[in-house]
Structure 1
């Protein structure tokens, strides 16, 4: 058996290649999974952009200097097992390499999940090392796997951003400015914030995405990046930056004299990451990176793991019901099977092109249907 991996040049994200290697024998306690499908979104591009700074490259080391595997979220099936607690055929949801297969070292097993206790992952954030056993996962439904892969990890971040803002009383502001408003993490955050009484949610986006953002119904206003001057400069506000565009961040900080807090989430505008507006010369508050695992740790300590899970599951099902409403679904999945299709989809997402209603589901295991 062999595994095909999709590798990215760490210092040149547009440079990619496919690599196939013969599988090594499993050690006692290990399992091999077939990665059936995974989502690719701008969130994964953020993983690559911050791959060294935030250790994302360390989860699935390629073994080749300068090349990395971007972590992705999706579903896999156990095809070999030398672990007595994990059966062949079991279906899992979790964090995978962009590859056709992966090897895990399950530990700390429960009916709902287990942790990959491979030594190289021991110092990495625990939230990324957990694998959910679909048969007992309260967030899993068999008929919504594509939507789960696309939105579940992003929505959990969105839910945590909303909780973090509420936990800090919105830093005294009543207006939330969300950049890259058509992105999945942004509109998930807007969905949560929109339920907060007295909070105005303004989505910032490009002209081509205004209609889409307005159609969602979770933004009080949608404003193009070029029309920031339509928002009063003295508005007490919080900026939640999903774009990572330094020039935009600089413009926000310069215009809004009552900017109470600036939160950096990701980088959908990769070509402008860490450019002007990211450093010490920024006007107003310092741009602070939001790190979801820190809020998870805080709330699981305060609420307890069971209550944390109950609240998150309830919020997820509420969001899922809205997103998958048959009359007006927020997105549809587009499948890309096989190496060439995966490369093309990656290039499209990296370039920030495409319909915001389209979600990309990829597989290096499945081969494209013959013509």
Structure 2
């Protein structure tokens, strides 16, 4: 057997190539997982854009200087096992490379999950090292695997962003406005879905003119404005800003216009060409722009609530969200499948460019065309 991997040039995210490697024998305690499908979204472009500074390249090292493997979220099946607690055929969900298979070293097994104990991942955030066992996963549904891969990690981030702001009483901006950029992105509208339920907060989505109608159709924004329509929001309105795009020019415009901007944070970097311009935020007017880091809020809340209560709240929110996303008459998202190396490369190029219908979600596979 061999493993096919999509490699990305770290200093030029548009440069890709496909590599095939013979599979090495497993060591005791390891399992080999065939990666059946994985989602590719702007969130994964963020992983690549911050690959060095936030260690995303370290999860799945390629062994080649200058080339990386972008982590993605997907489903797989155990095809070989030298671990007594993990059976061949078991279905798993978790963090995987853009590849046809991955070797894991399970430890801390429970009925619901296990952790990959590979030495190179030991110092990385634990939340990314967990693999959920579908047979006992409360979020799993066999008929919604595509939507889980596309939305689950993004919605958890969305849920945590909303919880972070509520936890801090919106930093004194209530009653007031929450400005969300890149409003057509999945993480943004997941956040809007949550914030829309908060009293005293008007959720305003900022997007391109081309995506206004889509964002309005979602029903989770109180208002949707094109980027050039910022003047429709009062300059002295108490507000917070959540930047999902990494657009330095827009961030500067918001910091300059709004005199009562109480908090500003960045979630992603989908506008790769503007990352350098966005900088650290030190030279912006008003409050300092910060980077939201979801694992920190997970750690805080699991410490306060306990793991079981954290999980219960998250599952309840997820079910409410997915019920809206999958409404038969007006679904928010439709999965589009891409199988095989050439199709995967083409889909990656499209997502990297930021083009495409926001109602389309990309599900990729490098294993199905090989089987």
> Is the contact between residue 246 and residue 278 of structure 1 (CA under 8 Å) also seen in structure 2?
no
Distance 1:267 1:186 in 2: 13
**Partner residue in 2 for 1:364:** 366
The CA deviation at 1:189 is: 0.1
Distance 2:144 2:69 in 1: 26
**Partner residue in 2 for 1:302:** 304
**Partner residue in 1 for 2:207:** 205
> Is the contact between residue 337 and residue 368 of structure 1 (CA under 8 Å) also seen in structure 2?
no
Instruction: Find 2:256's aligned residue among 244, 249, 254.
Output: 254
Distance 1:361 1:63 in 2: 26
Query: Residues 345 and 368 from structure 1, CA distance in 2 versus in 1: closer, same or farther, beyond 3 angstroms?
Result: farther
**Partner residue in 1 for 2:116:** 116
Task: Kindly provide the CA deviation profile for residues 32-57 of structure 1, in whole angstroms up to 9, marking residues without a partner as x.
Answer: 00000000000000000000000000
**Partner residue in 2 for 1:39:** 39
Residue 172 in structure 1 maps to residue 139 in structure 2: no
Residue correspondences, number: 369
Gaps of 5+ in 2: none
The CA deviation at 1:276 is: 4.6
Distance 1:228 1:97 in 2: 39
**Partner residue in 1 for 2:343:** 341
> Is the contact between residue 239 and residue 261 of structure 1 (CA under 8 Å) also seen in structure 2?
yes
**Partner residue in 2 for 1:241:** 243
**Partner residue in 2 for 1:225:** 227
Query: Residues 99 and 277 from structure 1, CA distance in 2 versus in 1: closer, same or farther, beyond 3 angstroms?
Result: closer
The CA deviation at 1:368 is: 8.8
**Partner residue in 2 for 1:102:** 102
**Partner residue in 1 for 2:141:** 141
> Is the contact between residue 80 and residue 88 of structure 1 (CA under 8 Å) also seen in structure 2?
yes
Query: Residues 277 and 59 from structure 1, CA distance in 2 versus in 1: closer, same or farther, beyond 3 angstroms?
Result: closer
Distance 1:267 1:120 in 2: 25
Task: Kindly provide the CA deviation profile for residues 299-343 of structure 1, in whole angstroms up to 9, marking residues without a partner as x.
Answer: 000000000000000000000000001111001000000000000
> Is the contact between residue 246 and residue 278 of structure 2 (CA under 8 Å) also seen in structure 1?
no
**Partner residue in 2 for 1:66:** 66
> Is the contact between residue 75 and residue 91 of structure 1 (CA under 8 Å) also seen in structure 2?
yes
> Is the contact between residue 77 and residue 90 of structure 2 (CA under 8 Å) also seen in structure 1?
yes
Query: Residues 145 and 4 from structure 1, CA distance in 2 versus in 1: closer, same or farther, beyond 3 angstroms?
Result: same
**Partner residue in 1 for 2:330:** 328
Secondary structure of 1:86 counterpart: coil
Under a length normalisation based on structure 1, what TM-score does the superposition of the two structures give?
0.98
Distance 1:37 1:274 in 2: 32
Secondary structure of 1:275 counterpart: helix
Under a length normalisation based on structure 2, what TM-score does the superposition of the two structures give?
0.98
> Is the contact between residue 282 and residue 289 of structure 2 (CA under 8 Å) also seen in structure 1?
no
**Partner residue in 2 for 1:313:** 315
Gaps of 5+ in 1: none
> Is the contact between residue 249 and residue 278 of structure 1 (CA under 8 Å) also seen in structure 2?
no
> Is the contact between residue 41 and residue 362 of structure 2 (CA under 8 Å) also seen in structure 1?
yes
The CA deviation at 1:277 is: 6.0
**Partner residue in 2 for 1:82:** 82
**Partner residue in 2 for 1:293:** 295
Distance 1:3 1:116 in 2: 19
Distance 2:73 2:83 in 1: 23
Secondary structure of 1:222 counterpart: strand
> Is the contact between residue 180 and residue 203 of structure 2 (CA under 8 Å) also seen in structure 1?
yes
The CA deviation at 1:279 is: 3.5
Distance 1:235 1:311 in 2: 32
> Is the contact between residue 244 and residue 274 of structure 1 (CA under 8 Å) also seen in structure 2?
no
